[in-house]
Structure 1
Amino acid sequence: MSTRETGTDGDESENGGQAGTEWDHTTDLLVVGSGGGLVGALRASSLGLDVVVAEKTDKVGGSTGMSGGVIWLPDNPMLARVGVPDSYDKAVAYFDTVAGKAEDCSPASSTARRRAYLVSGSEMFTFLENEGVEFIHCEGYSDYYSGVRGVEGGVARSRSVEATAFDTRQLGEWAQRLRPPVAGNLTLYTYEAAYVSSLFTRTGVARMSRVMARTVAGRLRGRKNVTNGAALIGYVLKALLTRGVPVWTETAFVDLVVEDGKVVGAVLERNGKEIRVRARKGVLLSAGGFSRNQTMREEFSRDQPGRVEWTSANPGDTGEALQVAMKHGAATDMMDEAWWLPSWIMPDGVPSMCISERSKPGSIMVDAQGNRYFNEAVAYQEAGQSMFAQEKAVGGALPSWLIVDSRHRSRYVFGGAPPGKTPKEWVTSGAMKKADTLEDLARQCGVDPTALAATVDRFNGFAATGVDEDFHRGEGDHEKYQGDPSRKPNPCLGPVAKPPFYAVAMYPGDIGTNGGLLCDEHGRVLTEAGAPIPGLYAAGNITASVMGRKYLGAGATIGPSVVFSFIAAEHASDRSGSETAPTAG
C-alpha cells in the first residue's frame, strides 16, 4: 500500500520498506527539485503513480521559476496553428549545423537523445495544454543561429513558446511560495523584452503600450498576474495541487538509498531530521547544477573558470545532488561548460545580464588591448565562450569592456535603467565609467587608448556601410531581433561617436551550468561503462545537455529540463514494468 498525500506540507509516514529497511514514507516516484522536474511529477501522476516533490528552499520553481520561462520546442503544435513551417528533419539539420553532428559531440547530445527530445517535446506540449497550461508563440524570438552563415534549418519567426499570464490567486497560500517573475509587476512576456528595450522606436512604443494596457486591465479585474518562468511554474503547480501531489518545501536531498545496485529511495532532511523515502519506480533528480559552488567550479572548469560572484543562477544551485549521484557511480560530461551570459557587476554586487545592450547600435566590446574579438550580438553562451577563449589565447578579456555612446544610452534600456536615465550611483561607485572622450574612457578602464581609437574608427566605418567585415554582426535573425528595427541598413550597427561615452566591465556570467550527469534517451543516469543505473533519472542543469555546447534558441535550457522530466516519468511508469521502454515516438 502506498502513502498518498494532498498538496500540502503535511507529513504522513509509512513503515514497511524491504529487506529490513525502515521507511518513513513510501511513494512511486520521488522528484528532487521543483523547477522543470514538476512536469515529470505531473506526468507521472497523470499515469497513476504516487509522486512526491522535494524542494530544499522555501520557494517553488528553481531556475525555471527565475527565468524567462520560454521553452524551445521544434515542430510543436503551436507552430502549425500560427503558420510557422517546421519539421523533424529541419530541426535535425539545425541541430547538426549548430551543435555539430551527434557523432562528434558529447554522448549527451547523441542521435537517440536528440530524437527523443524532438519527438517527445511535442507530446509534452500537448500534455501540458490538456493539464490547463496556456501557451503563446514567441513571435519573432528567432532561433539563435537562424540566418547565420553555414547554418541550416533555423526558424526566424521562432520555435519557442511561453506560458500566458497566470493569476496567482488560483494558488491560494501557495502563491507566496512562487519565485517572483523576471518582469516584476509588469505583465510583460519574455519575448517582448527585446522590443521594449528600444523604447524610442515605433515598435518599442507600440509594444510597451500593449504591455501597459494588459497590466492595467489585469489589475482592474483584481488579478494578480505573473509572467515568465513564474507563470509556467504557476500553471504546473496548480495542476499538481489539483491532482493532490505533495510538494515538500525546505526539504533537502541528502543521499540515495541503493539496494543490489538499484536506487530504491532517498534520504531527505525535513523538519530538522533525516527521513527515508522509498521510491518504488525511481528517483528523478532535477535539482540544478553547481553554479553557486566555487569549489566544484574550480575543480571542473579550469579552461572556462566561471565564478560564483558572476552567476545569476538560482540560490539553490549548489551541486549537492550532483555530487551524491557521482558518489554512487554516475558518469558526467561537459563539466567545464555553463550557460554563459556576459554580465556586469552593479554597485550592490549583483550581476546584471547583458543581452540586448550588446546588440544595439552604438556599442562595442573590447579587451584590455582595446580590440574587438568577436561578434558582440552573438548568442550569449557563445559570447561567454569567446571571452574565455580570448583570455586563454591573448589575455585581457576578463574583464572585457562594453562601451556605448550617448545615443545608445539615450535610446535603449541598459541594465534595467530606461533610456536617458543612468542612475548616479552607477557612475559614482565606479561600476560604470563615464567620460567626454574615448581617450579618457580608455584611461579609466585601463585599456590601450591608441588601440581603442583605431578599433572604434574601424567599427564606425562598418556602421556607415552596414556590414561588419570582421565579425558579421547583425547578419543573423536573432541578432536583428535584439537590435534596433529603425536602424538601417543593419539594426545592430551604429557608430560609437557621440559623447559622453560609457563603459562597464564585462564578465562571463552564467544562468546555470551546462554539464553534469550523463543520461540516455529515457532520462536514465548512466555509469562510466554506459549502463543505466536502475531507478535513477535526471533532467535539467544537473545533466549534460542534449544541446551540447551551443544555445540553440530561446528556452534551450528549460526545454531539455521539462522534456526529459516528462520522458523520465513515462519510462518510470512503464506499465509493462520493463527496464527498457521503447524510444519515444
Structure 2
Amino acid sequence: MTSRNLRSEMEVDIVAVGSGIGASCTAIAAHAQGLDTVILEKSNKFGGGTTYSYGIVWVGDNHLERALGIQDSKDEAYEYLHHLAAGHEIESNLRAYIEWSPEALRFFCDEAGIPFYVVPGFPDYFQHMSPGSLGEGRNLQVRPFEAKSLGEWHESLRAAPAVTHRATFEEVAGWGGRAKPQNWDRQLIRERMDQDIRTFGAGLIGHLMTAVLRRNIPFHLDTQVVSLITEEGHVTGVVARQGSNEVRIMARKGVVLATGSNVRNEALTWRSSEFQATESLLPPSVDGDAVVLAGEIGAAISIKPQFQQDLLYVIPGEEHYGTPLYRGVTNNESGFPHCILVNLDGDRFSDESIGQQVGSMLRNFDVRRHRYVNVPCFLVFDQTYLDNYGLGSIQPGQDVPDWLVRNKTIKGLAKELGIDSNGLAKTIRRFNRFAAAGKDKDFGRGEFPFANSVSGDLTHQPNPNLGPLNEPPYYGLPLEPAAAGSTRLMTNEFAQVVHLRGHPIPGLYACGSASAHYYGVGYQAGCELGGAMTFGYLAARHAAGE
C-alpha cells in the first residue's frame, strides 16, 4: 500500500518524478509491464499542473469517436498537427504521437479504467481553417470524479480554484457557455461542491490517482528529487529529500521526469521570456525541476516560443494554496462580447477570443520606439459586460469593487489607465460598428468555432464573441503576460531525453510539459495532456524493453 515515508536506500524499476498526468500515466503503464514503480512529488498535494487544466486529451483516429460513427484517420490527424507546427515540429515525435496515442488512449480507458469520452460538439481549434481538422471527436474528457471516494487520500488530492471544474464542457455549453454563469444550474454546482465532485483537469487527475491507488503503486508527497545518479553516462537513480532526510532511490530501468514546465522558476522563466514575465496560473511546485536535473548532466534544452499566450490579472486578496490567485483572460473573458484588448495607443491588436493570435501579436516590436507595441495591454469593457458576465469571482449583479478602474467616459477611462484617449475613443467607435454588424473586419473575432464554444456567449446573436461597448461606466483592467513554459527538454520518439551531443541519455525519460513541444509553436487544446499520456506510456514500454 502507498506509504508516506521512504527508506534511506531503496531500489525500483522506474522512478516517476511529478504527480500530474505524465507521472501517473507512466507509473500505471509501467505497472502493466510488471515493473516496480514509485512516484515522487515535491509538494504536499497529488496532481501537479494537470489539476488546473481543461482536462482534455486530443487524440486523432481514436476508438471512442469511431464508436460514435465519426470518420477520422491518422493521416488527417497528422496533417492537422503538422499544419499547426508551422515547420517547428519534432518530426519523429509527432509521427510517434499520431501512431501511438490511439493505443495509449485505449489502454488507459480499458486497462486503467479512466472514463474518457468524446466531448459532444467540441471542435478542433482550427476547424475549417486547417487541413485535416474535425468538428468533433478528437477532444476527450473524463466523467465527473467523486473526490471523497479517495477516503484517507482525499485531502492529498490537489484542488482547482475555478468553479468551472465542477461542470463538463457539454453542460457549460448547454447553459450558454462560460460567459453566462448566471444561467448555470446552480443547484447542480452546489451539490457537486458539497459532494466534492470534480471535472476538467481536477476530475482527470482524480481518476488517475484512483488508478494509482488501486494498483498499490507507492507515491510519496513532500519528496523533492534534488539530483540524478549517473554511472558511466547512464541515469541509474535519484537523490531525493524528504523533510530533513536525504534518500537514494536506484532505478533499474529508468527515471521519468514529468514535473511540468519552468513557469514557477523565476530565474529560468525570466531568462527565457521575451516579456520577462514570471507569474503563472500554475501551482508553485511547477518550477522547472526537470530542466535543472537533466541540464546538470548535459541534456539538450529547447527554448522555442509558443504563440499560445495567457494574459493575467489578480483580484486583490485572492489566494490559492498560499500564493496569489492569478486569473487568465485569453480563451476566456477577453473573448466575451462587450470587451476589447488594447495597447497604450488605445489600439486593438488581435482577435481577443484566440489566445494564439494574442500571443503572436504581443511579440510585435517597434524598432523606432524600441519597445513591444502591445505590452502592456488592458481589458476594456462596459457596464453591460459586468452585468452579463461579471469578472473572475465578481458575479453579475454584485457591487463593483473599488480596485477596478472605471470612468463615465471613454476618454476619462483612458486618462486613468495612461492610454491615448483619442486612440481609445476611435478604436471603440470602430469596434462598435463591427459589433452592430456581427462581423469584425479587422481581426475576424467570432469566426473560430472553438472560440464560440470556449469563450463565447452562446446566447448572444449574431456573433457569440462580439458586442458593443456603449453602456457607461467603462472599466479597464491592466494585464500582464503569463510566464512562458517554453524551456523544455529535448526528447526522442521513445520519450528518451537527448544529450547536447545528440544521443539519448540512457535511463532518462521525460514527458508532458517537461519535454519539448512535439508539434512546434502551435496550440491545440488537449495536445499537451495527450502528449503526457502517450509519451509516458511509450517511456514505460521502452524502459521495459518492448
Assess same fold via TM > 0.5.
yes
Residue 313 of structure 1 aligns to which amino acid in structure 2?
A: L
The CA distance in 2 between the partners of 1:263 and 1:332, in whole Å, is 17
Which residue pairs with 1:48 in the alignment? 34
Indicate yes or no: 2:220 matched with 1:251: no
* Alpha-carbon contact 1:73-1:559 (below 8 Å) kept: yes
**Distance change >3 Å, CA 531–CA 163, structure 1 → 2:** same
- Match of residue 419, structure 1, among 374, 396, 406: 396
The CA distance in 1 between the partners of 2:530 and 2:75, in whole Å, is 18
Report % sequence identity. Answer: 30
The CA distance in 1 between the partners of 2:476 and 2:533, in whole Å, is 38
Indicate yes or no: 2:424 matched with 1:452: yes
- Match of residue 322, structure 1, among 273, 288, 291: 291
The CA distance in 1 between the partners of 2:520 and 2:276, in whole Å, is 18
The CA distance in 1 between the partners of 2:465 and 2:163, in whole Å, is 28
Which residue pairs with 1:395 in the alignment? 372
Indicate yes or no: 2:472 matched with 1:499: yes
Which residue pairs with 1:135 in the alignment? 116
Counterparts of 1:536-547 in structure 2, within 5 Å, are: 536-547=508-519
The CA distance in 2 between the partners of 1:135 and 1:515, in whole Å, is 30
Indicate yes or no: 2:43 matched with 1:63: no
* Alpha-carbon contact 1:391-1:398 (below 8 Å) kept: no
What secondary structure, in the 3-state scheme, does the structure 1 residue paired with 2:478 have?
Answer: strand
Which residue pairs with 1:384 in the alignment? 359
Which residue pairs with 1:157 in the alignment? 136
- Match of residue 517, structure 1, among 489, 496, 503: 489
The CA distance in 1 between the partners of 2:260 and 2:178, in whole Å, is 35
**Distance change >3 Å, CA 198–CA 160, structure 1 → 2:** closer
Indicate yes or no: 2:242 matched with 1:267: no
1:296-337 deviation per Cα after TM superposition (whole angstroms, max 9, x unaligned): 122223xx22422x3112211122331120110100112555
Counterparts of 1:305-344 in structure 2, within 5 Å, are: 305-308=275-278, 310-334=279-303, 336-337=305-306, 340-344=309-313
In the TM superposition, what is the alpha-carbon distance from 1:274 to its structure 2 partner? 1.4
**Distance change >3 Å, CA 343–CA 183, structure 1 → 2:** closer
The CA distance in 1 between the partners of 2:281 and 2:51, in whole Å, is 13
* Alpha-carbon contact 1:344-1:352 (below 8 Å) kept: yes
* Alpha-carbon contact 1:253-1:321 (below 8 Å) kept: no
Which residue pairs with 2:18 in the alignment? 33
What secondary structure, in the 3-state scheme, does the structure 2 residue paired with 1:507 have?
Answer: strand
Indicate yes or no: 2:89 matched with 1:120: no
Counterparts of 1:184-195 in structure 2, within 5 Å, are: 184=163, 187-190=166-169, 192-193=171-172
Which residue pairs with 1:578 in the alignment? none
1:169-215 deviation per Cα after TM superposition (whole angstroms, max 9, x unaligned): 332211111111344597312565566575897xx777x23x74376
| 5+ long unaligned stretches in structure 1 | 1-5, 14-23, 576-585
In the TM superposition, what is the alpha-carbon distance from 1:351 to its structure 2 partner? 1.9
Which residue pairs with 1:77 in the alignment? 63
The CA distance in 1 between the partners of 2:175 and 2:364, in whole Å, is 32
Which residue pairs with 1:368 in the alignment? 344
Which residue pairs with 1:490 in the alignment? 463
Which residue pairs with 2:321 in the alignment? none
- Match of residue 237, structure 1, among 182, 187, 209: 209
In the TM superposition, what is the alpha-carbon distance from 1:218 to its structure 2 partner? 9.1
1:101-120 deviation per Cα after TM superposition (whole angstroms, max 9, x unaligned): xxx31xxx322211211222
* Alpha-carbon contact 2:17-2:41 (below 8 Å) kept: yes
Residue 118 of structure 2 aligns to which amino acid in structure 1?
A: H
The CA distance in 2 between the partners of 1:287 and 1:370, in whole Å, is 40
Residue 157 of structure 1 aligns to which amino acid in structure 2?
A: E
In the TM superposition, what is the alpha-carbon distance from 1:408 to its structure 2 partner? 1.7
**Distance change >3 Å, CA 341–CA 115, structure 1 → 2:** same
The CA distance in 1 between the partners of 2:259 and 2:199, in whole Å, is 22
The CA distance in 1 between the partners of 2:356 and 2:282, in whole Å, is 14
TM-score by length of 1: 0.86
The CA distance in 2 between the partners of 1:538 and 1:43, in whole Å, is 14
What secondary structure, in the 3-state scheme, does the structure 1 residue paired with 2:506 have?
Answer: strand
1:277-298 deviation per Cα after TM superposition (whole angstroms, max 9, x unaligned): 1101100000112111221122
**Distance change >3 Å, CA 89–CA 49, structure 1 → 2:** same
Which residue pairs with 2:412 in the alignment? 440
Residue 543 of structure 2 aligns to which amino acid in structure 1?
A: A
The CA distance in 2 between the partners of 1:12 and 1:324, in whole Å, is 22
Which residue pairs with 1:19 in the alignment? none
**Distance change >3 Å, CA 306–CA 71, structure 1 → 2:** farther
What secondary structure, in the 3-state scheme, does the structure 1 residue paired with 2:252 have?
Answer: strand
What secondary structure, in the 3-state scheme, does the structure 1 residue paired with 2:415 have?
Answer: helix
What secondary structure, in the 3-state scheme, does the structure 1 residue paired with 2:481 have?
Answer: coil
* Alpha-carbon contact 1:138-1:160 (below 8 Å) kept: yes
Residue 467 of structure 2 aligns to which amino acid in structure 1?
A: G
**Distance change >3 Å, CA 271–CA 165, structure 1 → 2:** same
The CA distance in 1 between the partners of 2:281 and 2:50, in whole Å, is 12
* Alpha-carbon contact 1:339-1:514 (below 8 Å) kept: no
* Alpha-carbon contact 1:136-1:161 (below 8 Å) kept: yes
* Alpha-carbon contact 2:84-2:520 (below 8 Å) kept: no
Which residue pairs with 1:144 in the alignment? 125
The CA distance in 2 between the partners of 1:513 and 1:239, in whole Å, is 28
- Match of residue 149, structure 2, among 170, 182, 199: 170
The CA distance in 2 between the partners of 1:357 and 1:412, in whole Å, is 8
* Alpha-carbon contact 1:373-1:390 (below 8 Å) kept: no
The CA distance in 2 between the partners of 1:254 and 1:394, in whole Å, is 39
In the TM superposition, what is the alpha-carbon distance from 1:368 to its structure 2 partner? 0.2
1:195-248 deviation per Cα after TM superposition (whole angstroms, max 9, x unaligned): 6575897xx777x23x743763896xxx54222222212212112122111101
The CA distance in 1 between the partners of 2:384 and 2:366, in whole Å, is 30
* Alpha-carbon contact 2:114-2:207 (below 8 Å) kept: yes
* Alpha-carbon contact 1:181-1:227 (below 8 Å) kept: no
| 5+ long unaligned stretches in structure 2 | 318-323
- Measured on the aligned residues, the alpha-carbon RMSD in Å equals 2.4
